[in-house]
A and B are shown apart, each in its own frame.
Chain A
Amino acid sequence: MAGITGWEDTLARSYVLDKTRIVTGTVVMHIVQYVLLSYAKSDYEMGEYAAVTALRILNGTPPNEIPISTNRKAKITLNMSLAKELGIKFPIEMIEKATFIEEQELP
């Protein structure tokens, strides 16, 4: 975790894996590794929106003409190791749409 001195992610994960007894979830990306499942808005979508909007402004569109927008894309992330520990089996449809924490860690 950025900003926390002496944070050891491996230990944190091991702890979560060992201590979690309930279904945990989040909607932010930076803690998805430590919860069972997450439904977080897409950083890429936001970056993409910022870039496209900046281009529009640079092309002369007044900022006041640009409407307020919300995230449309979200990413499901599953912690299959934790699910195994908790004995939770996700429906296959979720599995199909989700990204495993283990997959994200893959190089």
Chain B
Amino acid sequence: MKRLQSIRTWLLLFAAGVFVLTALFVLLAADYQLTRITDRSQAALYKEKLATIINILESRHARLLRTGQIEAYRDDFMSSTIETLTRSYYLSSDQLVYPCIINTEYEILMHRELLIEKRSPATADFHSKVITLKNGNFNYVTESGERMWCIFSFFKEWNWIVFYSFPQEVKYGDVSRLRTSLIVTLLILGLVVIAILSLIVTRMTRPLRKLTTASIAMAAGDLDHIIDIGARDEIGILARSFINMRDSIRAKIRDLQREITEHRKAEIDLRESNELLEQIFSTTHFLLAYLDSDFNFIRVNEAYARAGNQPQDYYIGKNHFDLFPHEENRAIFQRVVDTGEPFSVEAKQFHHPDQVVRGTTYWDWSLIPVKDEAGRAHRLVFSLHDVTEAKKMEAELLKTQKLESIGILAGGIAHDFNNLLTAILGNISFASMSSDTATIAERLTEAERASIRAQELARQLLTFSKGGAPVKKIIFLGDLLKETVAFSLRGANISCEFAISPDLFPLEVDAGQLSQVISNLSINADQAMAEGGTLKVQAGNVKVGENAPLSIEAGDYVKICFEDQGSGIAAEHLTNIFDPFFTTKKEGSGLGLSISHSIIKNHGGCITVDSQAGQGAVFCLYLPAAQKKSREKSEKSLEGVLEKPALLLGNGKILVLDDEEMIRKLIIRILSHAGYEVESAADGSEAIDLYRKPLKMLNPSML
């Protein structure tokens, strides 16, 4: 059935049909033309033959006339003429075409088959035509049904009708033979043409069959079916396009399969990821809440519910700020929804309603927007992490490291103290042994100077070692920087150069913590320059722009740089040096830079380091300049401080509390000398008792 429906079959049928139609048309046209030609030629031929016979008859008649005895000789002449004609025209017995003569009485005068002198058996129609027309030709059908053709001519002198009458198949014999040979020729030609066409069509449609086979194979899923068509014609182009299309489909299928594989993998990954997320969401100790853009809870994790001491379902559908009203936070939440920018904050103090029970808590919390297809934040992931413990631990670490620093400093401090005490004792001893007032006064002045230096040293040590929460105050960095560096480098064998800008911005910092940082960096520099060298300390104002590669906000900063000439830091260590407990030194705890980093960060600043192994290191601190209001306030307060202190003479009662008896005695002596009534106490309880006494005595004005 497919074979019958193939293009080849159709083409062949079409070609054969066209050929048959053409052949039929040619045959019919040829037949028609040949018939006409034959009609004309036969009519002409037999007209000529008849004319010849008529000529004979006329010449015979003319001779009859010459006899002068027409009536006497007429019959003889007629008979003689018939005889002559019979001899001339009736040559063989199987002759089909011969002339016949009848007279107007329809008597047969000359005929091969019919009896002479009998009446013609021809039809009345035949006779009427012959007699009426005299000359001409016509077709007729005999009683036996034979189709005949007759051409005749009338010889009026003798009333003779000379005619030829014979079957049409004789007349058209040549036509018939020609038609037969034409049919045979056309048939042979048709067969040859069809055979050739079949070959051509088969050859032409072979690429199409191959393409068909390939397309069937493709439809069955076989995309590797070989298509070998070398033709350069349209079919070749079609085949190449087909191959390209097939290759393209194959590539697409491969891509599709790959995409499906990737998609499945992605689905698996997504499922795993979802499971992981679900697991994390359920088990993390982070408090997680999923909110809509109106801050209604969609879901919360177990940790969140546990922290709020409520079941998880309790939160669903409730508004966050109905449960935890906080205008500042609401504004932050709204900003995240409006801008789509995440927000996070570290160690933010949280005033919980039951704070009395739990104490102050600190939380790292963040708000991550989840965006819809239009890019709008339509969900929020609210994550909270209780860092109270970490905060406490950090404070502990700070203390620990401070102790470590103190330990490092202890040798140098002891050395300095020893020197100062030696100077004090030596001068006092020398004074006590001297009788000269001027010498005594000079030695005592020296002892006092040494004592002042010792006092200064002690004050620095106190400042440095002060613990507890940071207490920020407005300070001017210059002196603190110089003092702390000098203090830290006591006993060190390196020199120090300062380049401090005189117009430094004031800073709002915890002086103790900043001292600790400066000290750490100084000690590090000292340790880095074991063979000696110079530490360059620079400080100046800088303006940090929006796009500066620093993790600080834009604004005015004081930049302090410590440049040593030590061994530098290897590149692979640069990223770790601020990590806790990371150290390359045998005696180090690895906390110094970590703590420094933490302190500076808590002050809104940052530390940078630039170093290459063997080429020294530069540590720079960026500390934000104090706000303008703070500066003014600080300037006012500093005005009072900077005024030179004067001995305040007066009267009244003063309670002196110090655990060191020597100090107590000294202060009592000085205050008494200034006119005050002085009470002293060695510890707190004694001081409270002393304080309560005047209350009972209704004289509370002593303090």
Contact = CB atoms under 8 A, between A and B. Distances in A.
B73 A102 contact: no
A80 B63 CA distance: 11
14 contacts: A80-B66, A80-B68, A83-B69, A84-B68, A89-B69, A89-B72, A89-B73, A92-B76, A92-B79, A95-B73, A95-B76, A102-B66, A102-B68, A103-B66
B83 to A, nearest CB: 10
B58 to A, nearest CB: 16
Interface in B52-91: 63, 66-69, 72-73, 76-77, 79-80
A83 B72 CA distance: 12
B72 A96 contact: no
Contacts of B79: 92
A83 B63 CA distance: 15
A89 to B, nearest CB: 5
Contacts of B72: 89
Contacts of B67: 80, 95, 100
A96 B68 contact: no
Interface of B: 63, 66-69, 72-73, 76-77, 79-80
Contacts of B68: 80-81, 84, 102
A80 B69 contact: yes
Q: List the 4 closest pairs (A to B, CB-CB), nearest first.
A: A92-B76, A80-B68, A92-B80, A80-B67
Contact of A84 (B63, B69, B76, B77): B69
A43 B63 CA distance: 24
Interface string A82-107: 01100001001001100010110000
B568 to A, nearest CB: 158
Given A92-B76, A100-B67, 9 more contacts: A80-B66, A80-B69, A81-B68, A83-B69, A89-B72, A92-B73, A95-B67, A96-B80, A103-B66
Interface string A9-37: 00000000000000000000000000000
Interface of B is mostly: helix
A37 to B, nearest CB: 13
Tier of interface size on chain A: 10 to 19
A96 B73 CA distance: 11
A36 to B, nearest CB: 13
Contacts of A81: 68
A106 B530 CA distance: 178
Contacts of B69: 80, 83-84, 89
Nearest to A92: B76
A50 to B, nearest CB: 32
A102 B66 CA distance: 7
A15 B69 CA distance: 21
Contacts of A84: 68-69
A102 B80 CA distance: 21
A102 B76 CA distance: 20
Nearest to A106: B66
Interface centre among A81, A83, A92, A100 (most CB of B within 10 A): A92
Nearest to B84: A96
A86 to B, nearest CB: 11
A92 B66 CA distance: 13
B461 to A, nearest CB: 187
A99 B410 CA distance: 191
Contacts of A89: 69, 72-73
A99 to B, nearest CB: 10
B506 to A, nearest CB: 174
Contacts of A80: 66-69
A100 B73 contact: no
Contacts of A92: 73, 76-77, 79-80
B73 to A, nearest CB: 7
Contacts of B66: 80, 100, 102-103
A12 B393 CA distance: 193
Nearest to A85: B68
Contacts of B73: 89, 92, 95
A103 B68 CA distance: 12
Nearest to A81: B68
